[in-house]
Each structure stands twice: as C-alpha cells, then as structure tokens.
C-alpha cells in the first residue's frame, strides 16, 4: 500500500484556492527573494511540489523558459485552478498534475531543481519528503524548502489579544499534525536527509503604514487562517467568540495607527544532491 501524506486540512474547497492565491500575492516579495537565491536559469527543468494554485509555478516558468516547470498537488481543485490560471495568463511551459509528494511518479534524477513552499509543515515526515525530492533531483541539483516559523510575529502597536489567539491556533494546528514552527527545524531536516552544502536563509517580510494596503494584506494572512477554524475552535472551547471579536477590534485599531508595523518570518533551506 502506497503511503499517503496527511490530508491537507483545507483541501477540496474553492475558497481555499482563492485564499492561497491571495496569500501568495501578499508574500510575493518573499517568493521573488527566494527564487532569486535559487538562481533559476533558462532551460532548467524544475518541480514545484505542493504547488497549490500554481502562483509560484508560473513565476518559475517565466524564469526557466524555454525550460519547463512541473507543479504537483494532492488536491484536484487546486490543480484545476492552476491549469486555468496558467492558460489565462498565457504561460505554456508548465505542467500541473495530481501527485503524492512522498511517492512521486517521476524517474530518478528528473529535475535540476525541486522546490516546496509552505508544504513541510503539513506532511507526516518531513525528512521522508525531502528524501523523495532528493530522489527525483539530478546529482549536483538543488533541493529547496521554504516554510514559516510562526514563533516570529511582531507588530506595533502591540496586539496581545491577536498574539494569544494566534498561539492558540498554532496549538490547534499542531494537534491535527501541522507544525507551524517548522522553519527553525529545516537545517536539521536537510541534515538528516543527507543533503550537501546546506544553506539557511531567514527572510523577514514586513510592512508599515507607508503602504497601508501591503500592511493590511500582510496582517490578513494569519487572520484568514484563524477565520477558517474559528467555529471549530469555539465549539471545542479553545477560544470564545469574545476572544475572536476582541482580537479583530485590536487589529482594526492597530492598522489605523500612523506608526503601524508588522513582521513575520520565512526560512528558506537549500541543499545539493551528492
């Protein structure tokens, strides 16, 4: 029997496809920075594992043209959306397919680069996932994984009610198998998978009141995640409706402050296949 990764909590929902596109747009500067570090070049063959709606796959495809980028995901809705968006934007050097990140259908040494973003926090065994990406990557090719570390969330003015709500959400997520603090573990994961020349890149994302739209978009990312689980968390007694409402009022006030600032942290790990 083929081992299957743990189900993604929000799979099969068109609203999640919409949220993923919005989240990627909010984090576009981080994505561009990561791809700059990866030195994508024309004619490369790359894999975007856990591609979601293909936002990053499309950017990668433009950078490797006339090479090709394969995007795989376990969710048919995400793959269907990814195909439609690539077609709509006229990007032809992508191929989107349903796939199990822990049991890929590709031959050994298929890709020059295998990349996953915001994926390892969701899998059962991150080392196994990196080993599978390693298998399908050429010798001296690159493996890259980027993930959050939600232990770093900074804001001004202070938002203690939101931070408390966020910590409860992260504990809730951990109970269903998500590790939202996995960013700090990427070096360990890559080391255990036998990767060579491992490098770690902490990449902060921040916004200030100088760009209110960017600030609101950045703050909206964790809020939308909390919103998806709000009712279930209330039902289980983890939070109350009052907790949620007070946190949202706190955020609204913070966003109007002339000195408002918010920052989160992504961590990118890269390694070479021996």
Residue 220's pLDDT is 84
Question: Can you say whether residue 90 is alpha, beta or left, with left for phi > 0 and alpha for psi between -120 and 50 degrees?
Answer: left
Kindly report the CATH number assigned to the domain that includes residue 253.
3.40.50.150
Does residue 147 lie within any of the structural domains? yes
Host domain of residue 151: 14-272
Does residue 6 lie within any of the structural domains? no
Does residue 7 lie within any of the structural domains? no
Residue 3's pLDDT is 47
Count of domains observed in the chain: 1
Q: Is the pLDDT of residue 269 over 60?
A: yes
Residue 108's pLDDT is 98
Cis check: omega of the bond before 131, within 30 degrees of 0: no
Does residue 119 lie within any of the structural domains? yes
Does residue 2 lie within any of the structural domains? no
Does residue 91 lie within any of the structural domains? yes
Q: Where are the alpha helices (H) located in 27-54, listed in sequence order?
A: 28-38
Helix (H, G, I), strand (E, B) or coil at 118: coil
Is 0.75 surpassed by the pTM of this model?
yes
Does residue 8 lie within any of the structural domains? no
Does residue 5 lie within any of the structural domains? no
């Amino acid at each position: 029997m083929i081992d299957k990764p743990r189900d993604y909590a929000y799979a099969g929902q068109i609203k999640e496809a919409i949220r993923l596109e919005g989240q990627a747009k909010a984090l576009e500067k981080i994505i561009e920075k990561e791809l700059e570090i990866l030195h994508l070049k024309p004619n490369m063959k790359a894999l975007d594992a856990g591609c979601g709606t293909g936002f990053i796959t499309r950017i990668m495809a433009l950078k490797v043209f006339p090479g090709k980028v394969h995007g795989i995901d376990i969710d048919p809705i995400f793959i269907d959306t990814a195909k439609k968006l690539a077609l709509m934007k006229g990007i032809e050097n992508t191929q989107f397919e349903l796939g199990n990140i822990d049991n890929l259908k590709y031959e050994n040494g298929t890709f020059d680069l295998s990349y996953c973003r915001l994926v390892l926090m969701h899998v059962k065994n991150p080392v196994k996932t990196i080993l599978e990406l390693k298998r399908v990557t050429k010798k001296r090719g690159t493996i890259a994984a980027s993930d959050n570390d939600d232990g770093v969330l900074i804001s001004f003015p202070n938002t203690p009610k939101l931070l408390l709500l966020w910590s409860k959400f992260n504990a809730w997520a951990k109970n269903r198998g998500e590790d939202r603090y996995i960013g700090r573990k990427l070096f360990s994961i890559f080391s255990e998978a036998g990767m060579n020349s491992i490098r770690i890149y902490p990449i902060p994302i921040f916004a200030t009141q100088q760009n209110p739209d960017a600030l609101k978009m950045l703050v909206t990312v964790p809020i939308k995640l909390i919103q998806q689980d709000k009712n279930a968390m209330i039902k289980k007694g983890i939070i109350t409706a009052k907790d949620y409402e007070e946190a949202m009022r706190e955020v609204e006030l913070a966003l109007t402050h002339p000195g408002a600032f918010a920052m989160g942290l992504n961590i990118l790990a890269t390694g070479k296949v021996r």
